[in-house]
Amino acid sequence: MFTPVKLANKNFLSSLDISSEELFHILEIAKNFKNKDLNIQLKDKVLGLIFDKSSTRTRVSFQVAMSRLGGTTVDLNPTTSQIGRGEPIRDTARVLSKYCDVLAIRTFDHSDLEEYAKWSTKPVINALTDLEHPCQALADFLTINEEFLDFKDVILTFIGDGNNVANSLILSGALLGIEVRIACPKGYEPNSLVIKKAYEIYKNKNLLKITNDPITAVQGANVLYTDVWSSMGEENQKEEKDKDFLGFTIDNNLVRNADKDAIILHCLPAYRAKEITDEVIEGNKSRIFEQAENRMHAQQALLCCLLS
């Protein structure tokens, strides 16, 4: 049985705020929580949730994770708090640090999240920004590890927009040393600084590949992953992106080009018939709902490692 070890960094703003050892450790703790082998209590600890964008999984999985740990959450809806009125982040962060033990924040600009972290005296967790979704990547690699015990040899192919989810998969994939391939239309490549950082971490530079050809990218892949083509905040680009992403749908034809035992992941919510077909979501290779469940176990582990 494992005892959570406190993370070296105060915050979890990026997948790179933890070391590779810490990432393996969080995954082990999460597995123990899932198997009910671990009973750690964070009694009386309070998690503040500030969500500037909609959420089902992240919000509820954090609420339930905290409740399972014996703590509580407060949902600071920006429209009914002074956040929506434009109170400066530095003031909000200092005040909430007095009431809460940890904050999970979902917002647009990653620099706003960093501003919260700068002024908060308590740990701040990235619950999704335009740049990264590191909590999602924790659950994703937990799901992959459940399927492929020695997941170092796994090939993960992400088909779609080089967005926040892709960025965090790249960075966590680099920490774990697994092969990550991104297939996106030209002009929709992942963040260039993220790619640069990932190449600095990989010992074998061939393990990260960015391509514009989905068929080549899925050859021999063990995990096929996709996400929406237009993220929250990109609603006005939807029509244009729908056209640019034609040919990037995960359908049975694309799946047939992957390894025969490949699994399918999607962070959800999904637009069926756009980035993925209904058949693939509901098919026997899909681990999408296990992946959603794992958000809770992974975040329970993260909270313990930040607060213990």
Mark the binding-site residues for L-ornithine, compressed into ranges: 164, 227, 231-232
State the Cα–Cα distance between residues 282 and 128, nearest whole angstrom.
Answer: 26
| Alpha helices (runs of H) in 164-283, residue ranges in sequence order | 164-176, 192-201, 214-218, 238-244, 252-256, 278-282
Nearest residue to 228 (alpha-carbon basis) of 189, 273, 172, 171: 273
Omega within 30 of 0 (cis) for the link into 269: yes
Which lies closer to ligand CP via its Cβ, residue 57 or residue 297?
Answer: 57
Residue 137: CB partners within 8 Å, gap ≥ 6?
Answer: 15, 165, 168, 169, 171, 172
User: Least distance from C-beta 98 to ligand CP, angstroms?
Assistant: 27
Which lies closer to ligand CP via its Cβ, residue 32 or residue 63?
Answer: 63
Single out the segment in contact with ligand CP by CB under 6 A; choices: 13-21, 55-63, 201-209, 210-218: 55-63
Interaxial angle between packed helices 110-119 and 89-99, expressed in degrees from 0 to 180 and rounded to the nearest 10 = 50
Spell out, one character per residue from 228 to 267, where the chain touches ligand CP: x when CB under 6 A holds, - when not: ---------------------------------------x
Q: For residue 135, state whether it binds ligand NVA (rule: CB under 6 A).
A: no
Which residue from 58, 63, 120, 143 is in contact with ligand CP, where contact means CB under 6 A? Answer: 58
CB 48 within 8 A of CB 73: yes
> Which residues are annotated as part of the binding site for carbamoyl phosphate?
55-58, 82, 106, 133-136, 267-268, 295
What residues numbered 133-172 form the site for ligand CP, per CB under 6 A? 136
Which one of the listed residues 25, 101, 106, 287 is annotated catalytic? Answer: 106
State the Cα–Cα distance between residues 263 and 172, nearest whole angstrom.
Answer: 19
**Residue 133 annotated among the catalytic residues of the structure:** yes
Spell out, one character per residue from 265 to 284, where the chain touches ligand CP: x when CB under 6 A holds, - when not: --xx----------------
CB 48 within 8 A of CB 22: no
The structure tokens listed for 178 are: 């697994």
Q: What is the identity of the amino acid at 153?
A: D
User: Least distance from C-beta 71 to ligand NVA, angstroms?
Assistant: 24
Question: Could you tell which of ligand CP, ligand NVA, none binds residue 221, using a CB distance below 5 to 8 A set by kind?
Answer: none
Q: For residue 299, state whether it binds ligand NVA (rule: CB under 6 A).
A: no
**Residue 106 annotated among the catalytic residues of the structure:** yes
Residues taking part in catalysis: 106, 133, 136, 227, 267, 295
